[in-house]
């Protein structure tokens, strides 16, 4: 009797699983095919990155005037593309910093009456480490072109893309964090604030250091590769081997060292960072030579272009296809 009940239970479970799978597949099949024929403008990529990494911004140290100039630039970019602030202001003042500093947060509301209550966060940190006391060959400014003006530029271009009237069923927050270099202060502040407001976060896609390409058979790696199926889903959405596993990422536990972690820690949903800095292809980490001239603009443009289909699918799938694995 016990074995028969067990057999019956297994069959019932299989039938239930099959019916759920069929229903999910039907919902996915009904998804409107999203056009990704939009072309990222390499000149725009270059212009944004060049300004953010310019000497004028003095390394964008949190709380300093260069950070304020960078924030002003990003706010204007959001305004120029008709992207609204999520809060009363685009500038989200940090509660975690002894001084005045702020994240910059833009918002595009979802178009689906049900899914618009779910949010995707596309993010990067716009701060860097500022001016060093001991310069190298007369250069004292840590411009932070790769770290992380490159990631900020990518998020800015994705914001432009979604602002062009592309269908986004879910709502999107475009977040430029301050305080990353001094302890993830911007992301810790915002994660706590949004959790207290009961924001329904589906996933966060954070971009870190994509200024130069890797010599590997994939475009970028993801932190916390085995924590969710995000990498697999992105590759499915792009139809390419876009995201891979980098052993050094696991060795250095990079999942816990960027602005994705505070959101994972608070929301317990897929929140991960992608990067093309693999510890072999760029020798100027936190160095005055991390400058615009060292960046591969063609690569950055290609990175953004390749991931647009994935971002489009992420904000439009009728079910939450990206899930935690452990």
DSSP class per residue in 111-152: SSTTGGGEEEEEEEE--B--EEEEEETTEEE---IIIIIHHH
Instruction: Find, among 223, 225, 209, 230, the residue nearest to 280 by Cα.
Output: 209
**Helix (H, G, I), strand (E, B), or coil: what is residue 38?**
coil
pLDDT at 17: 37
Neighbouring-strand partners of residue 211: none
pLDDT surpassing 70 at residue 5 = no
Give tens-digit pLDDT for 191-216: 999 999 999 999 999 999 999 999 99
What are the residue boundaries of the structural domains of the chain, listed by start?
Answer: 1-30, 37-314
Distance (Å, rounded) from C-alpha 16 to C-alpha 239? 30
Average pLDDT over residues 64-78: 98
Tens of pLDDT, residue by residue over 266-309, are 999 999 999 999 999 999 999 999 999 999 999 999 999 999 99
Structure token digits, residue 66: 């260069």
Q: Would you give the DSSP letter of residue 324?
A: B
Q: Look at residue 165 in the predicted model and tell me its pLDDT.
A: 80
Confidence of residue 6 (pLDDT cuts 50, 70, 90): very low
Mean pLDDT to the nearest integer, 135-159: 97
DSSP assignment of 39-80: ---HHHHHHHHHHHTSGGGTT-BTTSHHHHHHHHHHHHHHHH
Q: What is the CATH number of domain 37-314?
A: 3.40.630.10
Give the 3-state DSSP-derived string for 217-238, with helices as H, strands as E and coil as C: CCCEEECCHHHECHHHHHHHHH
Which residue, 118, 63, 95, is CA-closest to 191?
Answer: 95
Reported as half-sphere exposure (CB side, CA atoms, 13 A), residue 266 has a value of 23
Instruction: Give me the chain's average pLDDT, please.
Output: 91
């Amino acid at each position: 009797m016990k074995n028969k009940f067990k057999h019956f239970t297994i069959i019932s479970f299989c039938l239930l699983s099959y019916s759920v799978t069929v229903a999910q597949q039907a919902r996915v099949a009904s998804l409107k095919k999203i056009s990704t024929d939009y072309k990222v403008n390499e000149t725009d990529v270059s212009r944004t990155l060049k300004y953010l990494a310019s000497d004028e911004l003095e390394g964008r140290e949190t709380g300093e005037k260069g950070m304020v100039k960078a924030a002003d630039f990003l706010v204007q970019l959001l305004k120029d593309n008709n992207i609204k602030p999520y809060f009363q202001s685009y500038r989200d003042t940090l509660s975690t910093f002894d001084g005045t500093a702020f994240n910059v947060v833009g918002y595009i509301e979802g178009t689906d009456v049900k899914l618009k209550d779910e949010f995707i966060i596309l993010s990067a940190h716009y701060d860097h480490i500022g001016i060093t006391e001991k310069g190298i060959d007369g250069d004292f400014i840590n411009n932070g072109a790769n770290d992380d003006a490159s990631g900020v530029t990518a998020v800015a271009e994705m914001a432009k893309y979604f602002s062009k009237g592309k269908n986004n069923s879910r709502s999107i927050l475009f977040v430029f964090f301050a305080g990353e270099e001094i302890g993830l202060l911007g992301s810790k502040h915002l994660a706590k604030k949004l959790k207290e407001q009961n924001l329904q976060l589906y996933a966060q896609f954070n971009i870190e250091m994509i200024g130069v390409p890797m010599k590997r058979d994939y475009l970028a790696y993801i932190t916390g590769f085995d924590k969710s199926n995000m990498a697999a889903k992105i590759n499915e959405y792009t139809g390419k081997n876009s995201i891979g596993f980098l052993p050094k990422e696991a060795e250095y536990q990079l999942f816990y060292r960027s602005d994705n972690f505070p959101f994972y820690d608070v929301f317990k949903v897929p929140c991960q960072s992608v990067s093309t800095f693999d510890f072999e292809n760029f020798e100027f980490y936190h160095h005055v030579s991390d400058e615009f001239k060292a960046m591969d603009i063609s690569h950055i443009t290609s990175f953004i272009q390749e991931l647009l289909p994935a971002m489009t699918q992420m904000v439009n799938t009728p079910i939450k296809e990206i899930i935690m694995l452990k």
